Amino acid sequence: MYILYYMKERSPKYKIKKAKINNARGIELLSNIIGSGTKKDKELARSIFKTFNGNFLNATTKELLKIKGLNKDKVNRVIASIELGKRLFQKRNGNGLSTFVKEKAVQYSLFGPLYGERQNVPLEYIDRIIPVKRYTPPSGYFYIQQRRYIGNKFALIDFIKNIIRENIGEYKSVCDIFAGTGVVGYYLNKKNVRIISNELLYSNYLALYAFLSPEPYDEKKIKEIIKYLNGLRPTEDNYVSENFGDRYFIMENARKIGAIREEIEKLDLSLKEKAILITSLLYAMDKVANTVGHYDAYREKMDMTKPLYLLVPYIEQKKNGDNEIYNLDANQLIRKIECDILYIDPPYNSRQYSDAYHLLENIARWEKPELYGKAKKFDRSKLKSQYNLKSAPQSFRDLIENANCKHILFSYNNMGNKGNQRSNARISDEEIINILSSRGEVTIFERKFKPFTTGRSKIENHTERIFWCEVKR
């Protein structure tokens, strides 16, 4: 039996070393596959070794679940490590092996047990901390990443760029099919590159259209309108103040939000201009909202008293020449497009984004629907994502099978079943690897990140992973 483990030398390579069945190192490695190497994890690892006499190459999910203390998530980790190990070992040829890529000080949970004769298998990794650049916009402007949003990928931009630069190289088109805030498309955007950006929520779609669409606009006109809107001092109540005042916003800000949104509807604007103004309002709302970063609920204590003030989006219009912006279901859009790089960052868990950002969606649509409950939400049944449901693996398989691209970059964290039930990942590692492998070889990159969980659980050893698939079939 051979187990892949971390042995860092001067050269940035990993080695494969033989591990005896009851070797303490082997127990330690297996305990990290099923958990985080705690004493309890090591006891489980010993039980697995003992049950299968150290050779669990052909272990099944059913057999592993019989071992006391192993839940489905831990079993999936073991099964996935076995499958990865088989593939690494079976694919030793002139083309080399699929690679794991690691950042310094980050321990990946799937090591891949290897069986058979000893092989020298080079495995690439990143032995450096990739810094997160801090961006300060010009006075009076704001950048696309300057909002509170669950899953915002701004902190990973340089990580993603590095993966592309070192493994993919030049590209002519990128599709960010679950764009969210749009930061990935925005920072991969450049002249002679076509960015296809898609988002199901209309509020996010407007932001994407504002920052990335090629439609021309008059920036001077936008600045004059924003100056006018900032000068409004409404005293009468409106839809926003009646429903969200003294809840999500102080009453003064709530009245102003409603008045500004009404003024935008009255103005003679192009879609680009309207998108810019609504985006400016939504970002300004985020700065004064009495929340913890989303709108599932508001804080009982009203201490966000800062006045609402609109800024101008910092748009690099010269780069937007051939971009395409969509407001569609990802699995519908995938059948209509083709690209060099398909970047996929779907919802990870059962938390619907339409629930977390219902208020922003309401303001963007401005249909003034009837609201329900303490949180004042509207009917969002048509805005639910399939990737938040138990059927997420089936939706993901359909997406990958219909992707017309050269490379797939898939972002997904290692939440598994670590936290609150609503925060646990909908697609297992085993499912991700099996589905992506149907189109080509898979490489896994990862780095640490601070998780978002709806409960008060303390989540440790948490990482954001990017699965790279070079499409061959």
- Which pLDDT tens digit goes with each residue over 389-435? 989 999 999 999 999 999 999 998 765 444 444 457 889 889 999 99
Average of per-residue pLDDT across 127-134: 46
> Got the DSSP string for 231-270?
T----S--HHHHHHBTTTB-HHHHHHHHHHHHHHHHS---
Look up the pTM and report it. 0.72
The H-or-E segment that residue 174 falls in is strand 173-176
pLDDT of 135 reads 67
Q: Which residue has the higher pLDDT, 281 or 44?
A: 281
- Is the pLDDT score of 101 beyond 50? no
pLDDT of 415 reads 52
pLDDT of 57 reads 65
pLDDT band at residue 152 using 50, 70 and 90 as cut-offs: confident
Q: Virtual CA dihedral for 265, 268, 273, 279, nearest 10 degrees? A: -10
3-state secondary structure 420-461: CHHHCCCCCHHHHHHHHHCCEEEEEEEEECCCCCCCCCCCCC
Which 8-state DSSP code applies to residue 407?
A: E
Average of per-residue pLDDT across 55-67: 79
Q: Residue written as tokens 């003030």?
A: 309
- Is the pLDDT score of 372 beyond 80? yes
All domains of the chain in start order, with CATH: 2-114 (no CATH), 141-471 (3.40.50.150)
Q: In this predicted structure, which of 69-73, 129-133, 318-322, 367-371 has the lowest mean pLDDT?
A: 129-133
Euclidean distance between CA atoms 407 and 171, whole angstroms: 10
pLDDT of 48 reads 83
Query: Long-range contacts made by residues 416-419, C-beta under 8 angstroms, separation at least 24?
Result: 416/73, 416/76, 416/77, 417/71, 417/72, 417/73, 418/451, 418/457, 418/459, 418/462, 419/451, 419/453, 419/454, 419/455, 419/457, 419/459
**Residues of the chain with pLDDT > 70: what percent?**
75
In sign, the C-alpha dihedral spanning 184, 289, 251, 240 is positive
**141 Cβ partners below 8 Å, 6+ apart?**
311, 312, 313, 314
**285 Cβ partners below 8 Å, 6+ apart?**
249, 257, 308, 360, 363
What distances in angstroms separate CA 230 from CA 9, 263, 274, one per listed residue? 59, 11, 16
pLDDT band at residue 67 using 50, 70 and 90 as cut-offs: confident
Residue 465, burial from CB neighbour count under 10 angstroms (0-12, 13-18, 19+): buried
Tell me the HSE value of 326 on the side-chain side, using a 13 A CA sphere. Answer: 19
Euclidean distance between CA atoms 329 and 331, whole angstroms: 6
pLDDT of 37 reads 62
The C-alpha angle with vertex 197 and arms to 171 and 313, in degrees rounded to 5, equals: 105
Q: Which residue has the higher pLDDT, 84 or 463?
A: 463
pLDDT of 414 reads 62
pLDDT band at residue 469 using 50, 70 and 90 as cut-offs: very high
Q: Which residue has the higher pLDDT, 208 or 136?
A: 208
pLDDT of 100 reads 36
pLDDT of 206 reads 98
Q: Residue written as tokens 């970059």?
A: 409
Euclidean distance between CA atoms 201 and 364, whole angstroms: 10
Q: Which residue has the higher pLDDT, 281 or 104?
A: 281
pLDDT of 462 reads 53
Average of per-residue pLDDT across 324-342: 98
Pair 2, 26: CB distance under 8 Å: no
Looking at every residue in the chain, the average pLDDT score rounds to: 81
**413 Cβ partners below 8 Å, 6+ apart?**
348, 425, 449, 451, 462, 463, 464, 465
Q: Which residue has the higher pLDDT, 446 or 128?
A: 446
Euclidean distance between CA atoms 159 and 166, whole angstroms: 11
Average of per-residue pLDDT across 426-447: 91
The H-or-E segment that residue 399 falls in is helix 392-401
- Which pLDDT tens digit goes with each residue over 251-263? 999 999 999 999 9
Average of per-residue pLDDT across 351-379: 95
- Which pLDDT tens digit goes with each residue over 285-322? 999 999 988 999 999 888 889 999 999 999 999 999 99
- Is the pLDDT score of 98 beyond 50? no
- Collapsing DSSP to helix, strand or coil, 130 comes out as coil
3-state secondary structure 263-292: HHHHCCCCHHHHHHHHHHHHHHHHHHCCCC
Q: Largest Cα–Cα distance in the chain?
A: 80
- Is the pLDDT score of 117 beyond 90? no
Average of per-residue pLDDT across 119-128: 32
In sign, the C-alpha dihedral spanning 75, 78, 80, 86 is negative
32 forms beta bridges with none
Residue 332, burial from CB neighbour count under 10 angstroms (0-12, 13-18, 19+): exposed
Q: Residue written as tokens 């060099």?
A: 340
Q: Which residue has the higher pLDDT, 323 or 292?
A: 323
**122 Cβ partners below 8 Å, 6+ apart?**
13, 14, 96, 97, 99
Q: Which residue has the higher pLDDT, 152 or 366?
A: 366
pLDDT band at residue 64 using 50, 70 and 90 as cut-offs: confident
